[in-house]
Amino acid sequence: MKKKKGNEVKTQAVGRNRRNFLKVSGLALAGSGLLLASCDNDDDAGYMNPNGIFDLGSGDVGVLNYAYALEQLEAAFYTSVLDGSYWAGADAEEKAILEDLYNHEVNHRDWFRAAIGANVTNPAQRLPDNLEFDFSSVDFSSRTSVLQTAMALEDTGVGAYNGAGIYIQTPLYLTLAGKIVSVEARHAAAIRSIMNPDGDFKAFAGDDIVTVDTGLDVAYTPEKVFENAGPFIVTPFTYKNPMGS
């Protein structure tokens, strides 16, 4: 790696075991889980930190790794849902919806694995395939717990893709992200709809998620995404904020 003085980009840590990373790195810690480090601004690919912790990278590779992490999370979540007692006893509609979501997310996950494998030539820059997750905070026998977590993950997914679009440089990647994000939004609406809080028939695109004045959906920074999704992620990795190159 070139040693070049570039603009400072924040490198932040994700994963329950990130403290190991922080401990090993010996770098200054500013706030909980936030690590400041100086990085080369023109380094647009993922790489291993000196202590072996994976970094998502930036630019197209960074977004691919970022999305792959989230799709691994969603696929793992719905795998647990389908193994749980709520799903086993759910009504036909909810059962079918959750099974579809499982199918879609597993497909997305494996597509990212294939895409990254085929397009990121340096294996060291590919996010590991088997991130570890911890869903102990979710009660898979509880309809409310499962659906609320599903809603949070789907809405977070929508916000993640919407927010990451500007970091994508290759047109076809952006189109592919678009193909996936609208399906995540369809999921989010369906989950919100079947939750139907207090008979609120507007929840599928409620005022809590679509800004009233502009009609715009959420667009999240990686920081916000990992604030939502981070508690489920055990395997530590770091990301650059901003993710652009």
117: which residues sit within 8 A by CB, 6+ positions away? 126
Q: Does 107 bind other proteins (CB under 8 A)?
A: yes
Peptide bond into 50 cis (omega under 30): no
Q: Does 188 bind other proteins (CB under 8 A)?
A: yes
Q: What's the closest the beta carbon of residue 1 comes to other proteins, in angstroms?
A: 22
Q: Does 13 bind other proteins (CB under 8 A)?
A: no
Residue in this structure with the two tokens 């004045």, named with its chain if needed:
213
Scanning 4-12, 26-34, 132-140, 214-222 for contacts with other proteins by CB under 8 A, the matching segment is 214-222
The contacts found for 86-89 with CB under 8 angstroms, 24 or more apart, are: 86/140, 86/141, 86/142, 86/143, 86/145, 86/146, 87/140, 87/146
Q: Does 111 bind other proteins (CB under 8 A)?
A: yes
CA distance 156 to 160: 6
* Residues shown for the chain: 245
Contact indicator for 78, 101 with CB cutoff of 8 Å? yes
Strand order in the sheet with 47-48: 10-14, 237-241, 54-55, 47-48
Q: Does 197 bind other proteins (CB under 8 A)?
A: no
Minimum CB distance to other proteins smaller for 68 or for 237 = 68
Q: Does 127 bind other proteins (CB under 8 A)?
A: no
Minimum CB distance to other proteins smaller for 42 or for 93 = 93
Q: What's the closest the beta carbon of residue 78 comes to other proteins, in angstroms?
A: 10
Minimum CB distance to other proteins smaller for 21 or for 102 = 102
Q: What's the closest the beta carbon of residue 98 comes to other proteins, in angstroms?
A: 12
Which of residues 52, 172, 197, 198 is near other proteins by CB under 8 A? 172
37: which residues sit within 8 A by CB, 6+ positions away? 10, 11, 25, 27
Which of residues 40, 100, 132, 139 is near other proteins by CB under 8 A? 100
Interface positions with other proteins (CB under 8 A): 96-97, 99-100, 102-104, 106-108, 110-111, 114-115, 117-119, 158, 161-163, 165-166, 168-176, 178-190, 193, 201-202, 204-206, 210-219
